[in-house]
Amino acid sequence: MNALFFQGAVAAGFILVTGCANHEAVPAEMTETRVLLDFENETLPESVKGEAVTFELTSGRGAGTGRQALEVVYPVESTYKKVVFEPQEPWDVSDLGDCALAVDIENRSGESVQLFMTLADTNQSVTAHANIAAGESGTFYYDIAGPNTELDLGMTGWPARAAGELRSENPEPFRYAWGARILDPAALKQVGFYQTGILNPRTLVFDNLRIVSNPHGNAAVLHPLVDEFGQYTGEDWPGKIHTEKELLENSKKEINTLANEKGMTGRSRFGGWAEGPKLEATGFFRTEKVSGKWALVDPDGYLFFAAGIANCRMSNTYTVTGVDYENTSDRAGAFVASALRRNMFAWLPERNDPLSDHYGYAGQMHTGPMKHGQTFSFYGANLQRKYGSDYREQWKTVTLDRMLNWGFTCFGNWTDPLFFGNRRVPYFAHAWIGGGHKRVSTGNDYWAPMHDPFDPEFTQSVRNSLTRLDGQIQDDPWCIGIFVENELSWGNENNDASRFGIVIHTLGRDAASCPAKAAFVDLLKTKYTSIDELNHAWDAKSESWDSFAAGFEHAGTLEGGRRSDFSMLSEALAEEYFRIVNRELKQLMPHHLFCGSRFADWGMTPEAVQAAVKHTDVVSYNLYKEGLTDSLRKVLAKMDRPSVIGEYHFGATDRGMFHGGIRTAANQKDRGLKYRNYMMSVIHDPCLVGAHWFQYVDSPTTGRAIDGENYNSGFVSVTDSPYIDLIDSVRELNRNIYTLRFSK
């Protein structure tokens, strides 16, 4: 890609440029570029700083138009280590009006790079990311001020700018990840570029960090955004469906291929390693340590490795249409609640259309321009177009055929109950804990506050949830195990306030209305004979146990006895949670493994992990990195328990999708390479008994209803079309998964 063409001279750290971008909506007299750093001086500017990375001036070839640029080398697993550009005084670019940050970047590595960018003003920051193919270079941007920053589209990502905008041939966006969407252009204090969880070092070259005024790309006028199949209207790509006839022809061709191709050889009826050692057969899945490696053992006694796909279901295929109802109970009085959303669709079925069966309703949404409203599943509609009225059963059959053909051994978390009892592919099941029991908070709860396991009603809530699941599974030997809940609010090790957030906020509660606080008081009374002894250990001033029970406000740092006690209380709460869930599960479903609650890598504490080890059969982690990181590997080695990765994925934006996901690749073939690299890191760890890719189907192009995720995270598209380049690589690895895992 061509970098921005500059004219002018350096003056006070800025270059002012005017010119014509290749887009009629951006007239020349209105385009302005202000360079923040161009690296043309003989020495590095003082504003360039590094955190655990090495950097130096280098030839500017590829990265920009100047003779010099900044080369940065990122080491393996450089978690949040970055190069930072930080002026002595904040940059004020408010006079440029609508504007975007832009930078030229060259990837001098042999692998694609997912680069994270942080942009901060004096009060808040945003994190976004982009993917740069191996050996490639280009211009990358992020909107600072303008129409896009003020819109809540109900989509995590949206289309990149057209060729010529931002005065670059094909500018690529840094896609939003988290943080503040609106920053103060008058007080930009820092730009940083980092990588995290990488398996190999990466070398990048940065040049021409700048602000471009009047960026085009108003998302409000991007309509219609998707066609009648739910695909992006603005591009064409290999595999895009143009007619219903084409959809049917592709489907028939795939079904014939699946019928003629054999599945993986050397596998037991449950997908275990039939050519490996035969162990004790118990009729259900279990765990055993074999030759120093933890393993699952299938019901017939064969070693089993859980290579699977999570979230194989239709419930997350719904997107918000922009329509709501005056009467939601009987869906009467339809009206357009968000014209922005409604205008995204070139087609939606009328009420008498057979495809109108794929309308739904979301009573609550996590993010987006609407709090509730009508939804529609283009994926479901496309299945009906392909398979007719019996599309669910046909979808089930084809999906099972695909799983076996692609070499997967199981379905992961959130398996559609349609696959329970299928007797062809084993599966994991999932239970949410509902009910009216009390909750406690970390002070920063992402999905929801944490359960209060000391509330007596919590046990009944767990029992009710597991009883419902038990009625669906019915002691099925093909069910490997049960995940209960997901990515709970345990806190993290970023700082003491995060690690001990549950304890800090619970101590501030009144024990009379908070069972967890009452339990904390009892534990401390057992350890300390008097309130004076507690005060001495904590350097506190509580007047009595009663006043302490009424509410203790923690302030300052954690020192001495207070730190060890906070750790004790944190583990006590986690242990009570896992103890109760495990007990109830074993009473109701004694033959199935309790596989934990899937710790998020950004949301777990040593105390919670230690508690899970005591009360689960398999500990579960969701890990969105390039592969198994050294930090998690150390945790696994210390705990020495069978463990499973519950979620990971890689996505790209080369097939009409606007966001690659949490971890990204350059294209579909690169997704396959990253699958292989990730799984090889899992296979070689002695504690891991499997890993599950999230998810089976891409998110809707216009964002899933609950939170707007529109990731290319699937093995199939919205038209149920498999990504062949990805699958070819996946099949090759899965074919050899048992010899790679268990052969000496």
**Segment among 134-138, 297-301, 365-369 with least mean pLDDT:** 365-369
pLDDT tens digits, one per residue of 246-282: 999 999 999 999 999 878 999 999 999 999 999 999 9
Does residue 552 carry a pLDDT above 50?
A: yes
pLDDT at residue number 105: 95
Instruction: Give me the mean pLDDT over the 465-484 stretch.
Output: 98
**Segment among 88-97, 299-308, 438-447, 531-540 with least mean pLDDT:** 438-447
Complete DSSP assignment for 662-687: SSB-SSHHHHHHHHHHHHHHHHT-SS
Instruction: Give me the mean pLDDT over the 650-676 stretch.
Output: 97
| Separation in Å, CA 93 to CA 120, 147, 285 | 13, 17, 61
Is pLDDT larger for residue 19 or for residue 477? 477
**Segment among 158-167, 330-339, 578-587, 591-600 with least mean pLDDT:** 158-167
Nearest to 480 by CA among 282, 334, 725: 282
Helix (H) or strand (E) holding 383: helix 378-387
**Segment among 43-52, 359-368, 595-604 with least mean pLDDT:** 43-52
Q: Where are the beta strands (DSSP E) in 9-136?
A: 16-18, 32-37, 48-50, 54-59, 68-74, 81-85, 99-107, 113-121, 125-132
Rounded distance, CA 432 to CA 296, Å?
A: 24
What token pair was written down for 215?
């960026």
At 460, phi and psi to the nearest 5? -65, -35
Rounded distance, CA 640 to CA 610, Å?
A: 11
Instruction: Give me the mean pLDDT over the 705-713 stretch.
Output: 95
Domains of the chain: 16-221 (2.60.120.430), 323-376 (no CATH)
Contact yes or no for 232/159 (Cβ under 8 A): yes
pLDDT at residue number 167: 57
Instruction: Give me the mean pLDDT over the 655-682 stretch.
Output: 97
Rounded distance, CA 64 to CA 106, Å?
A: 8
At 295, phi and psi to the nearest 5? -150, 155
| Separation in Å, CA 557 to CA 68, 442, 493, 539, 561 | 46, 17, 15, 11, 12
Contact yes or no for 311/414 (Cβ under 8 A): yes
Rounded distance, CA 589 to CA 595, Å?
A: 13
pLDDT at residue number 32: 84
Does residue 211 carry a pLDDT above 50?
A: yes
pLDDT at residue number 478: 98
pLDDT at residue number 221: 60
pLDDT at residue number 64: 66
Could you tell me the pLDDT band of residue 171, with boundaries at 50, 70 and 90? confident
pLDDT tens digits, one per residue of 568-615: 999 999 999 999 999 999 999 999 999 999 999 888 999 999 999 999
End-to-end CA gap in the chain: 47
Contact yes or no for 269/300 (Cβ under 8 A): yes
pLDDT at residue number 51: 82
Does residue 3 carry a pLDDT above 80?
A: no
Does residue 217 carry a pLDDT above 80?
A: no
Q: Any idea what the Cα angle at residue 164 is, between residues 160 and 168, rounded to 5°?
A: 85
pLDDT at residue number 22: 30
Complete DSSP assignment for 198-218: -SS-EEEEEEEEEEEES----
Instruction: Give me the mean pLDDT over the 667-689 stretch.
Output: 98
* Mean pLDDT of all residues belonging to the chain: 91
Nearest to 119 by CA among 100, 132, 133, 146: 100
Q: What is the pTM of this model?
A: 0.93
Rounded distance, CA 661 to CA 187, Å?
A: 30
